[in-house]
Amino acid sequence: MSDYILRRLLLIIPTLFGILLLNFVIIQAAPGGPVEQTIAKLEGLDTSGGAASRATGGGGDVKSGSGYRGAQGLDPDLVEDIKKMYGFDKPATQRFWIMVKNYATFDLGNSFYRDTKVTDLILEKMPVSLSLGLWSTLIMYLVSIPLGITKAVRHNSKFDIWTSSIVIIGYAIPAFLFAILLIILFAGGSYFDWFPLRGLVSNNFDTLSLFEKIKDYFWHLALPITALVIGNFATLTFLTKNSFLDEISKQYVITARAKGLSEKQVLYGHVFRNAMLIVIAGFPSAFMGLFFTSSLLIEVIFSLDGLGLLSFESAINRDYPVVFGTLFIFTLLGLLMKLLSDLCYCLVDPRIDFANREH
């Protein structure tokens, strides 16, 4: 097993390299980079009659020392200075290798526009995304697994049919639309004002006692988490149900019943371990899925400043250090979680041995 883990860890290196290279190539082809945006803003100052006009006393001609030539465009030296400021004075290949070498030491650089380290930005936004991902995944598992088992035991009953209908309807409703509905109903929209509309905690959070802090924290998370998990019950619930139905029909279950074991002993003593293999082992991947996806609109709607919103704004603003820094961290964590999923298979069922399988 140790050899298998070592091989998987070593495979992370070329995988990370390939993902970074592919995205770097795509980014180079995307128009409107930071240099172009800065030039456009500087050229727009003159036409808008704003800062550039005020600097010239409203005459429209900037002093020769400023390097700005109005309608004639920017001075080539100023353009080169802008490129140098963003690191675009170097060839693309050189910029890529510099980025890779820095990432090898977890130096993610500084944001172009926020004047802070990318690492600090990620750590600052992490609590929001971690809260949404962790609690959403836990609630989803705590509800979906018992529901799936009950549906399998009572297959084709009225309970099975009605719960399937409800779960599918929840799956069909987009998370952001359900979030808006929750705000209208419970956050002072039109009916009740029971929950806060924005933020992860209240403004007076630091002055609260420990119990009040915990209560305030979950009070703010109630609506965002509900909006996130409502559409994610379906996949896990039906996966659990189908896994149990598949195991219940096998010969060893018939043999266990023939030996006089009760239905509860058969279900939880024999079926549960085999049926839950794929469900439990998929927990790390499910957590990463909720941690890094489907939360952008939820963060926007509930004014939660998390990693989803950070990544989106950075991509729009072409803040490349943040874009590639978050991509590097997300990919690395995703690959490690995939490895953890495989290890979970072995823990749930020791008969599985990835180390000895043929490649």
pTM of the model: 0.73
Confidence band, pLDDT 50/70/90 cuts, at residue 137: confident
> When comparing pLDDT for 194 and 346, which is higher?
194
Q: How large is the average pLDDT for residues 256-282?
A: 77
Residues 6+ apart with CB under 8 A from 224: 132, 179, 298, 302, 304
Place of tokens 């996806």: 293
> Greater confidence, 294 or 136?
136
Q: Compute the distance between CA of residue 323 and CA of residue 319 in angstroms, rounded to an integer.
A: 6
Instruction: For domain 119-356, give the fold.
Output: MetI-like fold (1.10.3720)
The residue type at 181? L
Cα–Cα dist 244/276, whole Å = 8
Q: Among 105, 113, 94, 38, which Cα is nearest to 321's? A: 113
- Average predicted confidence (pLDDT) for the chain: 79
pLDDT at 58: 43
**Residue 48 pLDDT greater than 50, yes or no:** no
Task: Work out the average pLDDT over 163-174.
Answer: 87
Report pLDDT for 303. 80
CA of 90: how far to CAs of 94, 104, 160, 167, 342, in Å?
6, 20, 63, 54, 42
Are 159 and 151 contacting, i.e. CB atoms less than 8 angstroms apart?
A: yes
Window from 47-56, 80-89, 211-220, 311-320 with minimum mean pLDDT: 47-56
> With bands split at pLDDT 50, 70 and 90, how would you rate the model's confidence at 341?
confident
Q: Is 116 helix (H, G, I), strand (E, B) or coil?
A: coil
Q: Return the domain boundaries, the chain.
A: 34-97, 119-356
In the predicted model, is pLDDT for residue 53 greater than 80?
no
Q: What is the pLDDT of residues 68-123, one digit of tens each?
A: 344 346 677 787 887 888 788 888 888 899 999 998 888 888 888 888 899 999 88
What's the pLDDT tens digit per position in 178-224? 888 888 888 876 788 888 887 888 888 888 888 988 998 999 889 98
Share of the chain above pLDDT 90, in %: 4
The Cα 293–Cα 158 span in angstroms is 34
Highest mean pLDDT among 46-50, 67-71, 266-270, 333-337: 333-337
**Confidence bin at 135 (pLDDT 50/70/90):** confident
- The token pair at 300 is 């926007």
CA torsion sign, 88 to 90 to 92 to 97? negative
